[in-house]
Structure 1
Amino acid sequence: MATLDRFSTQADLYARYRIDYPAELYQWLLPQVAARARAWDCATGNGQVAAVLAEHFAQVEATDISTAQLAQAPQLPNIHYQVASAERTPFAAASFDLITVAQAVHWFDMAAFNAEVRRVLRPDGVLAEWGYNLLTINPEIDPLVRYFHDETMRPYWDDNRWHIVDEYARLPFPFAGVQTGRFAVRRQWSAEWMLNYLRTWSSVASYQKQHQQDPVLLIADELTQLWGPGEREVIFPVFARTGHLQ
């Protein structure tokens, strides 16, 4: 099964309006990693995780199936970007101290990816997978966003999306020493920023492709009215898991 590409068409929006991850996540993750020679950021997208890893590892390999996403990534001397699938890479066996996958593993062929992890991870290396669920704002706006997510967009989500809602509970993780963490990303956004964030969803891109219309406009007026002028705090719940070879 080929890895699905659902983010090339909105790569510029993705780079600007998608969240990055809190320092607390890296503070939890990095002490679990014994060596800091090489890391692989799988499905790197626009390279936001790779750029953080580059501060802590001598060399970072960052892969994605989307050339459009990689074009948005920061160029740093110790990051090497290349197009490659999660399930089949050009890397040598036992070559990484850390493998990371942020908000992407639900798109993979899990059996093939886990086999590739076992091949390229060093014996004392760590695999880290994380994602974030639907954001919350306040009791007035949350039902509107959830209805848009769960009902309006439901026919346009791939089934893979619901693994995020389940926080990867149904995705196999056949590794030892499993640790889990929970974090929160808090941002101050305007209504316009929120609407553009919605346009980064794969379901919105699918709707636009099928209907040649922007579905975010279906809720734009109501959301903007409820939001009011200025900014509001948005909160994304982040979930993470780590493990190593048995």
Structure 2
Amino acid sequence: MSNGIFKDHFSTQSTSYGRFRPEYPEELFGYLAGLGGRELVWDCACGSGQASRGLARYFSKVVATDGSAEQIANAHGPDNVTFAVALADKCPLEDRIADLVTVAQALHWFDLEAFYREVRRVVRPGGYIAVWSYAVTSVTPEIDDAIEELYNGIIGPYWPPERIHVEEGYKRLAFPFRTVAAPDIAMTVLWDFEQLMGYFGSWSAVARYKQDKGHDPLPLVRDRLLSAWGDPAKVREVSWPLMLRVGQVG
């Protein structure tokens, strides 16, 4: 959502988003649970529920919202997670009830002034907000070079301009809360080759390339990636640095 208009970049690949987006590390949720109260967290722009499921292991209740009905339709989590279609500035929660608000990989889409107003309404005094992003994945230098060809070369023009904020960890976006020091946390998964390709297929720029060109860009780099990967059944460690910003709401 930007300037009051919801930009839905993920509905066309919501199924692959739910299947192939990596799960966040346990270290992240343990840290967030240690900030304060653990009764209720609002996971805003939850997508298919990657962060919601992790939060559910530490908080009594998670209210997970997203502006995309397709994303919510593909979301899943345990019984203490409630999923709902809602824009970032129209949370269904009552006033001053949440211990924490989280935004995973989505802050760059928001009307920040309206969202932060809603955060202050929903969060109890002394509660927290945590936002994070992750940019390009890393595997090995040779594989990373092939990923770079895809990311900045083939589909580079199809990334929305807001993508720069993801790559910068939201450092240039307004964050009008008392800053809390956050740890360095890496997100890692063990994937085979097809899982990596499935992840690339969930990228919004891939969907826009398909719409514009009429064909999938992934085959253009598949052979190079596979040559660098080796046996497609081989499992490799795939990693992303998480860039985390945490603030205390007044």
Place the TM-score, normalised by the shorter chain, in its bin.
Answer: over 0.9
Partner of 1:11: 14
Contact 1:181 1:241 in 2 (8 A): no
CA RMSD of aligned residues (A): 1.4
Report deviation, 1:103. 1.0
The separation in 1 between residues aligned to 2:77 and 2:35, in whole angstroms, is 27
2:26 pairs with one of 1, 15, 23: 23
35-44 or 47-56, which deviates more: 47-56
Contact 1:93 1:120 in 2 (8 A): yes
Task: Tell whether 2:131 aligns with 1:129.
Answer: yes
Unmatched tracts of structure 2, length 5 or more: none
Contact 1:94 1:122 in 2 (8 A): yes
SS at match of 1:29: helix
Contact 1:127 1:244 in 2 (8 A): yes
Report deviation, 1:232. 2.1
Q: Match for 1:106: what amino acid?
A: H
SS at match of 1:12: helix
Contact 1:38 1:98 in 2 (8 A): yes
Q: Match for 1:57: what amino acid?
A: F
In the TM superposition, 1:61-80 aligns within 5 A as 61-80=63-82
Partner of 1:88: 90
The separation in 2 between residues aligned to 1:115 and 1:159, in whole angstroms, is 24
The separation in 1 between residues aligned to 2:226 and 2:165, in whole angstroms, is 30
Report deviation, 1:75. 4.6
1:193 pairs with one of 185, 195, 216: 195
Contact 1:180 1:239 in 2 (8 A): no
Rate the CA distance shift 1:194–1:88 in 2: closer, same or farther, 3 A. Answer: same
How many residues are matched? 245
2:241 pairs with one of 224, 237, 244: 237
Q: Point out 4+ residue stretches in structure 1 off by more than 4 angstroms.
A: none
SS at match of 1:169: coil
Q: Match for 2:117: what amino acid?
A: A
Rate the CA distance shift 1:192–1:76 in 2: closer, same or farther, 3 A. Answer: closer
Q: Deviations over 1:23-71 (max 9, x none)?
A: 11112221112x2222111011111222222233232211001122112
